[in-house]
Structure formats: C-alpha cells, structure tokens
Structure 1
Amino acid sequence: MAAEVSKTPTRIPETLFALSRESGRANGWRLTPGPATVAVASLLCLLIGLLYLALQIRTVFADQVKQEYAGLVLEAVERAETARARVGVWDQVPHAHDAAAEGYGQARAELTRRLASLAALVNASPANAPRIPSSVLLPDATFGEMDRLLGDASSYWHTQRDTYSADMRKRITGIAHMLIAVAALLFCLLITALGMYAKRNRQLAGQSHEFKHAALHDPMTGLANRRKLFAALEEAAAQASMSVSPRKMAVLYVDLDGFKKVNDSRGHRVGDEFLVAVSRRFRESVRKEDVVARIGGDEFAVLVQEFAEQEELRQIAQRLIACVARTDEQMGMGMVRASIGIACYPDLVDDYCRLVAAADEAMYRVKRSGKNGFAFASRASEAHVG
C-alpha cells in the first residue's frame, strides 16, 4: 500500500488564501476603523464636549454674579432715591420749628449715608462702570447733581442687569443644545461601535468555521479527513448506544489499485484530477448521512452510520468499485481499480474503535486475492472477491 500512495502536494483552499489577504490588509496594507478606534473617537468627543460645557457653565456663573451685583447696586440706588425723596419732603416744610429742622437734618444725613454706600459699591465694581464722584458726598452738593447722578446710575445698571440676564439665558440655551448634540453624537458612535463589534464577531465566527472546516476536511477533494471520520464514528457509536433498538454501522475501506502508475505515467496533475473526480462519484453513490473520507493518498473510507442487512453493504461496495471503473474509463486510464474491506459493528467487530483497522485488514486480503473486489472482516463469513 505504501508504494502506491499518491505524492499529491497538499493544497490550501482558496478561502484560506482570502483570509490571509484580509489579514495582510488589516496588518498594514489597508487600515480600517474598528470598535477600539470608534471608542477612542467617542472618548475624545466626550472630553471636548465636557470641556466646552465646563467653560460655558463657568461663564454662566460669572454672568449670574454680575447680575446679582447689578441688583445690589440698583437696590442701593433705590434706597438713595428714597432718602432723596424724604429730604425733598422735609425741604418743603418751613424750618421755623425745631422739629422740622431736626427732621430735615436727619433726612439729609440719611441721604449722605445712602450716597456713600452707593459710591462704595459702584466704585468697587470690577466692571468698567461710571464712577460716583466724591463731590456729591460733600455737604454743599446740590440736589440737582444728586438727582442727575442717581438717574444715570439707575439707567446704566438696569441696562447692565438686562444685558447679563440675556447673556445668561443665551448661554444656558447653548449648553442645552450642546448637551443634546453630545448625547446624539455619543448615541450614534455607540450604535456604530456596536454594529462594528457585531460585524467583527460575525467575521471571526466565519473565519472560525472556515478553519474548523479546513481542519476536518481534505483540502483537495473536500471530503472528510481521518480526524473527521473518527469523530463521526465515535458520535455514531454514542447514538447507537442510546438507541432503544439495536443499530448497526460499518466502515468500508477503499484502496485504489494501480493509482501509482497514473502519477508516474500521466503526472500528479492528472492524478489529482482523478482523485477529485472519483471522490465526487463516491459522495454521490452513498446516502447523505453517510461519511466519505479520504484517509490519505489513494485510500478512502466510507462510514455507513446505519444499515439492516449485509446486502446493503455489498451494494455500496459494488457502487464504489463501479465509481472507480467509470472514472478510469472516462479519463482513458485503463489501469485503476478498487479493493474494499468491510467491517461491521456489532455483528462482526465487537469494538467500534477497531472498525477502521478491521476494514483495512479485510482490504489487504482482497489485494492478496487478486484485487478489484471486496471482502468482509470476518473469518466466519464468506469472502466476496470479484
């Protein structure tokens, strides 16, 4: 058997080449944004937005302080105007009586204190506001100067307070709009990152399936390999042990007689074409639930997961032999035939782990008996060769 093993070079499926190209592009040929990139961009946008909001909130607080300061100045102006009105009332009363003179003096002193308080408050303002001259605080200051000063101060600080209020409302509206924009942006980036993460997971799942399929199948013919065959055999045995009614299974071990001559005379390319063609016919000649595997070189195995009578196995073996003969005839070889060994469980082999080895031994008996036939792996049963 070793002399006839094909020296067919192993081929990597096109899917693996495609995965390699994609990996190369991701590693350096073409950089595509991933979930990590989107997450970093989201974090930067969030930090920028928070910095902008912090600056705007700070400005809002500053405007609020200015507005409160303007309110304090206006309260001081109102108190000064009230004191000025009281002085005006006492000024209309004749000063002949001591009570009138005393009331006027007290009102004038109150006005002086109010003006001093107003001047201290206005002149201490950090804003570039009109200052109150010290001349209005002197005893000889006229009421006209005081009235003009109080009117100007009232008008100016009312305007300032309204301006601060408008600015504060505008900035609060801007902060609200900014919060909405940042929330919308983060939501969009989050949805994008989740979509990219899901897409990456699907790609990884697809790649995992590709590699798993490549690990369990022959790269050239697409049939199951030895590993897949033994896994399917163990699974079938487990199902048979759990079945209420007894279930039988079998392995047919196929070796191509004369295949080495194809490689030697026609070349390995023709040999590969023959293996691909006969593998396709093998797959079409058995049931869908049965497993066709390429063990290596020119050796194949068929796992029949359930059968009733050995006659079914004979028919399968004959079909497999016919597949090889038709492929040989179609390609004009005239030199390739098949030897098949059959092992059944539990009728002829009491341990399913020995099915493949027992079928291999039966196949060698066929080769020693003239090849191009099949035989069962049991001394007690008839050998069917021919």
Structure 2
Amino acid sequence: MAPEAAKTSIPIPERTRSQRAARGRAFAIGLRPGPAVIAAAALVCLLIGLLYLAQQIRTIFSDQLKQEYSGLVLDAVDRAENARSLVGVWQQLPDATATRAAGYRTARTELAQRLTSLAALVKASPSAAPHLPPSLLTPDADLRDTDALLNSVSAWWRAQRDADSADIRVRIAHVAHMLIALAALLFCMLITALGMYAKRNRQLAGQSHEFEHAALHDAMTGLPNRRKLFATLEEAAKKSSAMASSAMASSAMASSATAAPHKIAVLYIDLDGFKQVNDSLGHRVGDEFLIAVSKRFRVSVRKVDLVARIGGDEFAVLVREFSTNAELGEIARRLIACVVQTDKEIGNGLVRASIGIASFPDPVDDYHRLVAAADEAMYRVKRSGKNSYAFVDEVS
C-alpha cells in the first residue's frame, strides 16, 4: 500500500510549482484594476493637472508683471539718458556765459532727479535687482560713471525683460500641453464612464431578462407557468378577435366569401395516479417523471402552441389556431400517449392522464373562462373513468 500511495501522490517540487502558480494567479487577479480604481486614479491625475495648471498660470501672471516693471525701468533709463544727452549739449557749448552755466546746472539737476527716480523704481522692484550707488545720484557726480551706470542698468533690465518674456513663452507652451493632456484625460474618463454605464445597463438588462424569465417559467421543468399562460392566452384571444373582425369585413365586401372565426383552445391536463409515484418511489422520481413528460409534451405540439405547467401534476396546452375539434382530439391523444410512454420508460405503471378541452369563441365566448372551462371538462373525465379527454360539451 505504501508504494502505491507514493506513486499516486504529487511530487513535492511539482506541488510547490502549482501552489506558486495558483498564488501568482490570485495575486494577478488582485492587482487587476477595477473600474473604481481606474476612475479614482484618473480623478487624482486630473486634480494634479489642475493644480499644476493653476501654478503655471499664476507664474505667467507674475512674469508678465515683472516684464511690465522691466519696461517701466527701461523707460526711466531712457529719460535719464535723455537728461544725460542734454547735459552733454550744454557742456559742448563754446561760450562760457552765465546762460550756459545756468543751463548746465539745470541740466545736471534734471539728470540727478532722473537718476533718483530711477533708483527709487529699481529699489521697489518685485524681483531682486542691483541698486544704484547713492554717490552717482548727485548733480556733481562724474559723468563717465553716470554713463557706465546707465549702460549697466539698461543692459541688466533688458536681459531681465527678455528672460521673463522667454519664461512666459515656455510656460504658455506648458499650459497648452497640459490643457491638451487634461482634455484627453477627460475624454478618456468620459469614454470609460460611458463604457461602464453601457456595461452596467447590459448587466441590468440581462438580470432583468433572467428575473422576467424566472417569473414566467417553472423552475423545475422550464415550461411557462400559470402567469405566462394567462398572458399568452389574453394575447392570442385579442389576436383572434381582431382576425375575426377582419374576416367579417372581408366577407362583407365579397359576397361569395364566408367569415371563418379564428379559434383558440386550451387543453387542461391532470396526471392520474401521480401522487402514488411520490408516495411509493419518492419525490426525486416524481420530479424526474415531470421533467420527462414536460419534454414530451413540448415535442408533441406545434412550436406556435404553448405548453405550461399550472402547478403540481397539472399542465395546460394553449392551441393558438385550429379548424375542427378533431384536431384538438388528436392533440389530446398525443398528450395522453406522452404520459403513457414516460410511465413505461420510468417503469411505474401507475400514471395516466385526464384532459379537458375548451375552445374560444365557440362554445366558450369569454376567453377569461377558457382555462376554468377546460378544468371542469377534465374533472368530468376523472369522474367518468380517467385516461381520456373531453370537450366542454361532451365526453369522448
């Protein structure tokens, strides 16, 4: 026994590999993102993108402010350079007159005021900038130092303005790219949401169809139940009345034609002796019998006709259209033969069938009473010997 057990047991390495594979599959299933995870990740990305976009726009406005301030400083530099040019003009006059001296002093004073305004503007700059030395802001400052100062200030602020302008262009490009990315993300989120919505609708539609099918069919045999029978009967009766009205209208137009009513019928079937099967052989055999006879019933009638299980061992067949009672009698005989064949197959020798037949609109003129009339005819068969069929107005 021990060697055989060793042969049939799984080798340790192979068992370990199978366990690892199973754990790997479980881990992969656990890591597989669901719709909620995808939606949450997309929302986080959207929020991060919006924060980045807000920061970039704020920086662009700040750079624009710096660029405008650089323009103000450069305007002040231009005014100071104009004042310096005016000093040079007075300085180059040949005559040393009182007028020249007064004009020169006025020009130097104007230059000093321009430089003082420029220094104040530079000092109030929103960004760090080199300040102007106070010694060069007086009317007696060396003009060569003033020229060098104006050149350096002009070069620094022009470079600052160009840098701010380039930074603005770069950040605008980043904003454009981020807007495109956010638009693509929103589009993907919308498509994902629509896909999830459509999938959910398909699931709900499938569940609704399953619930509807379960509500209208017998769980054990799969046949339509009483509710489905009465709904189909009402539909067939209304169609029969409409076709009869149409036929009467046609016959009124053609004198040679006669209006033949569109007739429907219900065959009510009760299994005789079925209770003994459950009592003697058990409910499992009884259920097998019902399933088998249900299949034979379904095969023995037309596809347009409806076979329903009313409950327990009672069935009904809705014949949507027929011409004579002889057709209904043939259907009843086939149904009885189905019960006999099923009984022989299972080996009971106990079960037969009693069938009541009622038709609409003749002799039953109200389709609401059609099933009840067929049930009454079936009980007349039971009282008269069973294993046969009867119409509402006669016993065969």
TM score, norm. by length of structure 2: 0.84
2:298 is aligned, of 260, 279, 283, to 283
Partner of 1:301: helix, strand, or coil?
strand
Q: Could you say if the C-alpha distance between residues 34 and 239 of structure 1 is closer, same or farther in structure 2, counting changes exceeding 3 Å?
A: farther
**Deviation for aligned residue 1:213:** 0.7
* CA distance in 2 between partners of 1:32 and 1:207 (Å): 24
CA deviations over 1:111-170 (Å, ceiling 9, x no partner) = 122111111111222322111121112233111211121121112111111111111111
**Deviation for aligned residue 1:85:** 2.3
* CA distance in 2 between partners of 1:75 and 1:349 (Å): 108
Kept after mapping to 1: 8 A contact 2:109/2:139: no
Kept after mapping to 2: 8 A contact 1:221/1:276: yes
Aligned-residue CA RMSD in angstroms? 2.1
- Report the AA paired with residue 67 of structure 2: Q
Q: How does 1:53-68 map to 2 (within 5 A)?
A: 53-68=53-68
Kept after mapping to 2: 8 A contact 1:339/1:367: yes
Q: Could you say if the C-alpha distance between residues 250 and 30 of structure 1 is closer, same or farther in structure 2, counting changes exceeding 3 Å?
A: farther
Q: In terms of mean alpha carbon deviation, does 104-113 or 369-378 score higher? A: 104-113
CA deviations over 1:61-87 (Å, ceiling 9, x no partner) = 111111111111111112212221222
* CA distance in 1 between partners of 2:225 and 2:143 (Å): 113
Q: In terms of mean alpha carbon deviation, does 194-203 or 238-247 score higher? A: 238-247
* CA distance in 1 between partners of 2:154 and 2:358 (Å): 113
Q: How does 1:311-330 map to 2 (within 5 A)?
A: 311-330=326-345
Q: Does 1:165 align with 2:165?
A: yes
Match of 2:367 in 1: 352
* CA distance in 1 between partners of 2:52 and 2:33 (Å): 30
* CA distance in 2 between partners of 1:353 and 1:68 (Å): 90
Q: How many residues align?
A: 352
Kept after mapping to 2: 8 A contact 1:94/1:100: no
Higher relative contact order (CA 8 A, sep 6+): 1
Q: In terms of mean alpha carbon deviation, does 318-327 or 362-371 score higher? A: 362-371
- Report the AA paired with residue 52 of structure 1: Y
Q: In terms of mean alpha carbon deviation, does 197-206 or 73-82 score higher? A: 73-82
Unaligned runs of 5+ in 1: 1-28
Partner of 1:254: helix, strand, or coil?
strand
Q: How does 1:1-386 map to 2 (within 5 A)?
A: 33=34, 45-243=45-243, 244-245=246-247, 246-378=261-393, 381=394, 383-384=395-396
Q: Could you say if the C-alpha distance between residues 30 and 102 of structure 1 is closer, same or farther in structure 2, counting changes exceeding 3 Å?
A: closer
**Deviation for aligned residue 1:331:** 1.8
**Deviation for aligned residue 1:46:** 4.3
Kept after mapping to 2: 8 A contact 1:95/1:101: no
* CA distance in 2 between partners of 1:330 and 1:56 (Å): 84
Partner of 2:320: helix, strand, or coil?
strand
Partner of 2:82: helix, strand, or coil?
helix
Unaligned runs of 5+ in 2: 1-29, 248-260
- Report the AA paired with residue 227 of structure 1: R
Kept after mapping to 2: 8 A contact 1:325/1:336: yes
* CA distance in 1 between partners of 2:143 and 2:33 (Å): 80
Q: Could you say if the C-alpha distance between residues 146 and 88 of structure 1 is closer, same or farther in structure 2, counting changes exceeding 3 Å?
A: same
